[in-house]
Amino acid sequence: MPPKFDPNAITYVFLRCVGGEEAGTSALAPKVGPLGLSAKKLAGDIAKKTTSFKGLRVTVKLTVQNRQAQVSVVPSAAALIIKALNEPARDRKKVKHVKHDGDISLDQLYEIARQMRERSMAKDFSGTVREMLGTCVSVGCTVGGENPRQLIEK
Question: Is pLDDT above 70 for 38?
Answer: yes
Average pLDDT estimate for 66-78: 81
pLDDT given for residue 143 in this prediction: 78
Whole-model pTM?
Answer: 0.70
Contacts 24+ apart (CB under 8 A), 90-95: 90/55, 91/55, 92/18, 92/55
> Distance between CA 81 and CA 100 in Å, rounded?
10
Which stretch of 1-15, 61-75, 89-103, 115-129 has the lowest confidence by average pLDDT? 89-103
Helix, strand or coil for residue 99? coil
The total of other beta-carbon atoms located within 10 Å of residue 121's CB is 7
Mean pLDDT of the chain: 77
Q: Which residue has the higher pLDDT, 133 or 100?
A: 133
pLDDT at 98: 63
pLDDT recorded at residue 94: 60
Backbone Cα Rg of the chain: 19
